[in-house]
């Protein structure tokens, strides 16, 4: 019988040690269980996340909120940048993802919440803040149930402080239609180094 490869040995160690699955495997399982809510077959690339965060002033960021963290691709890079006294609240409707993040991210600044981004105002207040400085979203806006995307955009506009921004990445260019009723100042870029290539928007609360 051939000797197991290094990958097989790693996978066997994970199973026998009861360790959590790899982020990649966890994301794929999430997609097959809830394809519409997850809305993508692969996590975002690190290049996309760094591009989105390049416009954030981390010296003026006490509360960052992330919608739809999934398995934490964006979250982990964000925590590397966030100030030691800042707070990161992530909100996801999928209990498997929230449990996975709670199990795999050990950081006193990090607060995973099982819930909908539509309830962001209540969630921000529950964490002792009046406003969020920045909010990032990888939500599949175009496949959310009718009305939910607009509800989220409105609540987001109201909870971000003046000078803060809503950071949105999605492959569907129509997602901008959720932003234009609420923001006048919207910057846009494309990130090709992602599967599929993504649209990036920064909607500024002036």
Ligand X SMILES: C[S@@+](CC[C@H](N)C(=O)[O-])C[C@H]1O[C@@H](n2cnc3c(N)ncnc32)[C@H](O)[C@@H]1O
Residues that bind ligand X (CB under 6 A): 37-40, 43-44, 67-70, 73-74, 91-94, 97, 116-118, 138-140, 144, 148
CB of 184 to ligand X, least distance (A): 25
Tokens for 137?
């979203």
Interacting residues of 127 by C-beta distance below 8 A, sequence separation 6+? 63, 87, 89, 111
CB of 56 to ligand X, least distance (A): 16
Residue 160 burial (CB < 10 Å; 0-12/13-18/19+)? buried
CB-nearer residue toward ligand X: 140 or 164: 140
CB-nearer residue toward ligand X: 112 or 140: 140
CB-nearer residue toward ligand X: 84 or 95: 95
CB of 206 to ligand X, least distance (A): 26
* Cβ–Cβ under 8 Å, residues 124 and 158: no
CB-nearer residue toward ligand X: 163 or 173: 173
CB-nearer residue toward ligand X: 8 or 158: 158
**Does the N-terminal peptide bond of residue 196 adopt cis geometry, omega within 30 degrees of 0?**
yes
CB-nearer residue toward ligand X: 40 or 165: 40
CB of 177 to ligand X, least distance (A): 17
CB of 36 to ligand X, least distance (A): 9
Residue of this chain nearest to ligand X (CB atom): 68
d(CA 60, CA 102): 26
Interacting residues of 171 by C-beta distance below 8 A, sequence separation 6+? 40, 194, 196, 197, 198, 199
CB of 102 to ligand X, least distance (A): 14
What Å distances lie between residue 184 and 150, 155, 179, CA to CA? 16, 16, 9
The strand ranges marked E within the chain are: 63-67, 87-92, 110-114, 132-137, 160-170, 185-191, 198-204
């Amino acid at each position: 019988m051939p000797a197991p490869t290094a990958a097989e040995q790693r996978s066997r160690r994970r199973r026998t040690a009861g360790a959590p699955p790899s982020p990649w495997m966890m994301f794929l399982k999430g997609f097959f269980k809830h394809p519409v809510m997850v809305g993508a077959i692969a996590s975002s690339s690190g290049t996309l996340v760094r591009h989105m965060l390049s416009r954030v002033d981390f010296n003026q960021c006490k509360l960052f909120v992330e919608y739809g963290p999934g398995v934490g691709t964006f979250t982990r890079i964000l925590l590397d940048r966030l100030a030691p006294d800042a707070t990161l609240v992530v909100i996801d409707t999928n209990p498997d993802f929230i449990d996975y993040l709670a199990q795999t991210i050990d950081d006193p600044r990090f607060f995973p919440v099982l819930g909908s981004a539509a309830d962001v105002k209540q969630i921000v207040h529950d964490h002792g803040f009046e406003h969020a400085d920045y909010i990032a979203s990888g939500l599949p806006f175009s496949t959310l149930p009718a009305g939910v995307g607009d509800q989220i955009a409105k609540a987001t506009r109201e909870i971000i402080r003046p000078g803060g921004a809503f950071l949105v990445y999605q492959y569907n260019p129509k997602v901008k239609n959720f932003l234009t009723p609420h923001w006048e100042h919207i910057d846009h870029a494309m990130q090709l180094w992602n599967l599929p290539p993504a649209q990036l928007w920064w909607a500024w609360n002036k």
